[in-house]
């Protein structure tokens, strides 16, 4: 469950043993809070990541006339064009995880 190359708050790589110990300490301290933290933002993030990708996928597929089958061009184009929407969401999720790791509380929307 712990990433092999976990990082601390300063962005430095931490040994897997240390990362595992920190993760276990967080889960022992507040197991329900730790497992449910950010579930709302995760669901919203999944929606925001999937909608642009499939929108571009279907749009490109329709424009180039792939018919019922989605081709390589449509899939590649959807990945490229949806990155503009997906990458900021990934950065927000990373910031939320770092805030939770530091404070033990969810970051409230401003």
pLDDT for 21-80, tens place per residue? 887 888 888 888 877 877 877 777 777 777 778 888 888 888 888 777 778 888 888 888
Distance CA 79, CA 48 (A): 14
Distance CA 15, CA 7 (A): 9
pLDDT recorded at residue 72: 84
Quote the pTM value.
Answer: 0.43
Q: Is the dihedral of CA 35, 36, 37, 42 positive or negative?
A: positive
When comparing pLDDT for 106 and 82, which is higher? 82
């Amino acid at each position: 469950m712990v990433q092999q190359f976990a990082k601390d708050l300063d962005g430095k790589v931490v040994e897997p043993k240390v990362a595992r110990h920190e993760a276990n300490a967080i889960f022992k301290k507040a197991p329900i809070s730790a497992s449910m933290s950010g579930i709302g933002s995760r669901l919203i993030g999944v929606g925001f990541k999937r909608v642009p990708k499939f929108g571009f996928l279907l749009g490109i597929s329709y424009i180039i006339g792939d018919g019922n089958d989605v081709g390589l061009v449509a899939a590649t184009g959807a990945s490229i064009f949806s990155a503009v929407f997906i990458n900021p969401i990934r950065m927000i999720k990373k910031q939320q995880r770092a805030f939770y790791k530091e404070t033990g509380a969810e970051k409230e929307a401003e």
